[in-house]
Structure 1
Amino acid sequence: MSTYYNMNISIWVAIFLILFGGKQEVRGSEDPKKPNIIFILIDDMGWADLSSFGNPDAQTPNIDRLASEGISFDQFYVNAPICSPSRTAILTGTYPQRWDITSYLSNRKENAERGLANWLDLSAPTLAKDLKRAGYATGHFGKWHMGGQRDVAEAPAIAEYGFDKSLTNFEGMGPKLLPLTKNAKGEVGRIWEDAERLGGSFTWMQRSEITTGFIDAAMDFIEDSKKSNKPFYINIWPDDVHSPFWPPFEDYNLTKEDKKRALYLAVLESMDKQFGKLFEYVKSDQELRDNTIIIFCSDNGPEPGAGSAGDLRGFKGHLYEGGIRSSLIVWGPTFVSKKVRGQHNKQNYFTAVDLKPSILELTGVDAQQGELADGESVLPTLLGKKQTSRQSPAFWSRPPDRKHFKDFDQPLPDLAIREGNYKLLCDFDGGRPELFDLTKDPEEKNNLAAKHLDKVKEMTKKVMNWYREVT
């Protein structure tokens, strides 16, 4: 009788836990099979800067090895050609124009002059919020630049966007790593010293080693997540390879007077060495290796004279391919199809807003009901199991402070749309259209607008309607 009674009590307890909160706990923190996500976002790295993407001037063996064990994408796009809006799109899965973040966030005066918000609205949906609700441990380590910089000192803390822990640089609210500099003579200095007043604890660290500081903090976070039996999602978004360039001069026989390109390549190679520590850590732990996916890309095109977009036209700040294409690598031995490992997907295109729904599908997590979304899941393509592109058109608008550029004879276009093989660029009023068939002309040399007037009219109408909707 006692045994029967105890069994019935156990059954009712189990039912109670499922109905009143136990189910969410099982789906998240108690389910070790949910995949871990490491999202690496490099700053200002060009599409052709990795040696695995064709750079003959530098070697990036650790990142290249990641590519050789995963899959690379040649037609992946970020949703803005400059940092703050690009990061907003990745974090939210929405077009950054919806949040009035269309260029880099600066001080209040400059933000107001350009029609920018001072920080990302807390009502914005974020991947971190969705995964945290499902029991994930969430961490952000590195550059933020979506609020809390210069004289904007009351922006929300990074934690308020869904992160359990954060460590950032001088452009975010919360604990920080701030950069020391050391020149070839050994003289030490500081940059962004004013960031101390933004609040949060801070540690001064050599600029050439800060990527390691973020990686070490991320690895500690992973260890804590393992101890608590939680899957984790972490951003590792270093300052590298953004200027000013402060490589470890003693390792490269360089001085600050060397040309920008040489300094940039030294920073790029140094960054690769630092990431080798993280990749080895993940690969040497069977539990992590079998249940972790790494996503690696850059936030926008390169700074002129520093990084390279290869034969692609344009740079950071431009809506031409060189400003918005990013070298994407996806690694995960138990996730990526064995048939495509080490290969480049050259056929399919998709954008950064598509990463959030893809990750949610991978993790089996639902977005909050009614959550705003502009992306669509391309998970089978990301894992090399299908070859399909984004189905809806992709749209861009020019940063408001990037209408003119010294190497271009004409003002830069304001809007861009990619639909199928074709990409159209035009001004806000639809004027000066440029139409390119990217399958035949990825360098955007042959303007077909005069030959395809109906297509120009159709695509111009779509991109202008989109811009009215999101602004």
Structure 2
Amino acid sequence: MDRVLVFLAFFMFNCIAQAQQPNILWVTIEDTSPHFIGCYGNADAKTPNIDRLSREGVKFTNAFANAPVCSPARTTIITGVLNEVLGTGNHRSKYPLPDKIKGFPSYLKKAGWYTSNNAKTDYSVGGARKMIRDSWNESSREAGWWKRTDGQPFFSVFNHMNSHQSRTMTNPYRWYRAMIYDSLSGEERIGEAAFEMPPHFNDSAEMRRYFARVYNAISLTDKEIGKLLDKLEKDGLKDDTIIFFYADHGEAIPRGKSGSAGIGYKVPMVVWFPDKYKELSPWPIGSETDELICFDDLAPTVLSLAGIKPPEYMTGRPFMGKYRKTPGKYVFTSRNRIDESPQLARSITDGRYMYTKVFQPQFPELEYQKYADVSDIVKQIRQDYSDNKLNKVQSEMMDSRNGSEYLYDMDNDPWKLHNLAKKPEYREKVFLLKEKLYQHILEVRDVMFLPEYTMDSISAEMTPFEYRLQKGYELKKILDQAFLCGERKKPEEILSGLESENRDVVYWSLMGIQSLREIDLSGVRHKIMEKMHSSYLPVRILAAAIAFERLGAKEKAASALRPLLKFDNDLVTLQMLQNVQYMKGGPEFFKDDLKAFVALRKQDKSFLNSVSVAETTLFMLGEGELYYDNMKKWMD
């Protein structure tokens, strides 16, 4: 009898404890910057539901995505760990994770919560199905809090897609009219003359026609958010639910999503508290906070609100709840390969200034990227550039980069138009932030400085997370060489890396040579020609590209590169084609090879990124039917 009473008391205690837990609702939207939300100061925006959450909740003015594209951002969100630690920075890569690193909702499930996801996952991890299964009671388009048991606390995520790049840019204009514009009433629509054009875009009738898509897609998304919040209230749950609103990264416009300049990182974020849980907010309701928030903070914060201690492996900090930690002084963000477009960049911000080091400045800011290039707005920008219709600010994203370091004052330059990195009065700020960034990369043992082919090879033996902790990963040597990229005053140091016994230092030495076309290569010609036959394929590709473009050895370089079109690892072929695409004379020289490659590999989805590079390159040469027409058919 006593055992029965003890069991009943324990059962009642757990029921009461569960009933006292707040429900947590995540309302996430795609591809949106604070610039386009009413409560962040845009009087042209029509976002009444988001604005109301802000008035009644807490608005964050310094919230940052860790990456400017969805899958690496969502990987950090679900794990609470930065991509440079996991090796998950390249868009939709599939490298394994250690068993100890889990999707954070699995901890809530274990504690008795109902977890649902409606419905996007898009995690850059191997074994994603297991992570989804372990994390969510249900992950589908029908998932929601309504399937939990009575009194069971829930954590529910709803991902709203209508602000996605496909809606604002890449789907055909007629699709946008039918699916976005016609879904809004006259009062909910934003006209083509009813907003201020971002200054880095040409303010023309054509551009306004395309850019109005951004405002109307966000207006429709806000309308959907209103319907979701109405359902929460009708179900009698709003008074027991903490609501998070945020975007998965910055706006899907040129220089935003996929960019390394900073617009792609800053996101709108609001947290709304019901009266009974207002004491869980460290800030007054109806206020705003400039506390620094990064996406790796989200997982530990939700666990903290649920009374669960976040695991030690998480790189983020809880900014609310039982285990709240004081904010750090900096947030670190990263840009790696996105689709077929190459770029490695690292940024640091103190909330006011953002410093960025671009490690591959040989590529322009607006890189070729099939998914974005198919859009009317990017085609218009490229055409206006060709026709000399753009001013200096508007042309910069198309021009060759003038350096590898960027410093922006985000308070006074929200569009990040004025690079302060070379101004004498900001020398100390650049030095400080650069040093802090360097130390952060070393401290977390950033594994993304390895070529992607190497990451893939490593993953057959161990996880990138584990490899980065090995003594054999000589990160400081690699990093010291990588930081020389774009440094015009240090040609000797760049070239000296060719003598290193570390193959990845050699790789970054060659990358440094690519980044500075004015470097005199006469003294290292033989060394580069020798590297063109390296068994380490990432080095061979860079050496051959340099030999082709700058050493007058086109035929020898081509003989080293052509076999890689038939290589059995797509990441090798991808790197080879990326170099062909950007090297002077490369696209025309390899035109017939590219046509044959596209014809051979078109039906093999495992070669998607490589085919995209080849198609983009052919489009540059006037082979439009292999690019835009096929892409339009796929979208329709």
Identify whether the pair has TM-score above 0.5, normalized to the shorter chain: yes
What pairs up with 1:99-248 in 2 under 5 angstroms?
Answer: 99-105=86-92, 116-117=93-94, 124-146=101-123, 156=129, 159-167=132-140, 214=141, 217-218=142-143, 221-225=144-148, 227-245=149-167, 246=176, 247-248=179-180
Larger helix percent: 2
Matched residues in 2 for 1:72 and 1:301: separation?
17
Which of 1 and 2 has higher RCO (CA within 8 Å, sep 6+)?
1
Contact 2:29 2:221 in 1 (8 A): no
Matched residues in 2 for 1:433 and 1:251: separation?
43
2:332 — aligned with what? 395
Tell which structure's C-alpha radius of gyration is larger.
2
Q: CA offsets per residue over residues 307-351 of structure 1, 9 Å max, x none?
A: xxxxxxx41122333110000011122234697333332x32211
Contact 1:89 1:353 in 2 (8 A): yes
Residue 121 of structure 1 and its aligned partner are, at CA, apart by 7.1
Matched residue SS, 2:225:
helix
Matched residue SS, 1:395:
strand
Letter in 2 for 1:262: A
Return the match for 2:349 from 418, 429, 439.
418
Q: CA offsets per residue over residues 158-206 of structure 1, 9 Å max, x none?
A: 6424100111xxxxxxxxxxxxxxxxxxxxxxxxxxxxxxxxxxxxxxx
Matched residues in 2 for 1:32 and 1:81: separation?
38
Letter in 2 for 1:378: F
The range that moved more, 125-134 or 237-246, is: 237-246
1:71 — aligned with what? 58
Unaligned runs of 5+ residues in structure 1 are: 1-5, 106-115, 168-213, 306-313, 406-411
Identity of aligned residues (%): 24
Letter in 1 for 2:284: V
TM-score, scaled relative to structure 2: 0.51
Q: Aligned pair in 2 of structure 1 residues 96, 469: CA closer, same or farther (>3 Å)?
A: closer
1:321 — aligned with what? 262
Matched residues in 1 for 2:49 and 2:59: separation?
14
Contact 1:28 1:231 in 2 (8 A): no
1:174 — aligned with what? none
Q: 4+ residue runs of structure 1 moved beyond 6 angstroms?
A: 118-122, 402-405
TM-score, scaled relative to structure 1: 0.67
Q: CA offsets per residue over residues 362-406 of structure 1, 9 Å max, x none?
A: 1111335xx521001111799xxx9x973163222212248989x
2:211 — aligned with what? 261
Matched residues in 1 for 2:415 and 2:210: separation?
24
Q: How many corresponding residue pairs?
A: 370
Matched residues in 1 for 2:326 and 2:414: separation?
16
Return the match for 1:274 from 215, 224, 228.
224
1:301 — aligned with what? 250
Contact 1:130 1:367 in 2 (8 A): no
Letter in 2 for 1:324: Y
Matched residues in 2 for 1:146 and 1:251: separation?
30
Q: Aligned pair in 2 of structure 1 residues 159, 354: CA closer, same or farther (>3 Å)?
A: closer
Contact 2:354 2:409 in 1 (8 A): yes
Matched residues in 2 for 1:367 and 1:134: separation?
13
Residue 104 of structure 1 and its aligned partner are, at CA, apart by 3.0
The range that moved more, 80-89 or 443-452, is: 443-452
Matched residue SS, 2:63:
strand
What pairs up with 1:89-108 in 2 under 5 angstroms?
Answer: 89-105=76-92
Matched residues in 1 for 2:413 and 2:94: separation?
37
Matched residue SS, 1:250:
helix
Larger strand percent: 1
Letter in 2 for 1:414: A
Contact 1:77 1:351 in 2 (8 A): yes
Matched residue SS, 1:269:
helix
Letter in 2 for 1:62: N
Return the match for 1:461 from 438, 445, 449.
438
Q: CA offsets per residue over residues 43-76 of structure 1, 9 Å max, x none?
A: 1112222222233333121222222211111111
Q: Aligned pair in 2 of structure 1 residues 276, 401: CA closer, same or farther (>3 Å)?
A: closer
Matched residues in 2 for 1:457 and 1:155: separation?
35
Residue 271 of structure 1 and its aligned partner are, at CA, apart by 1.9
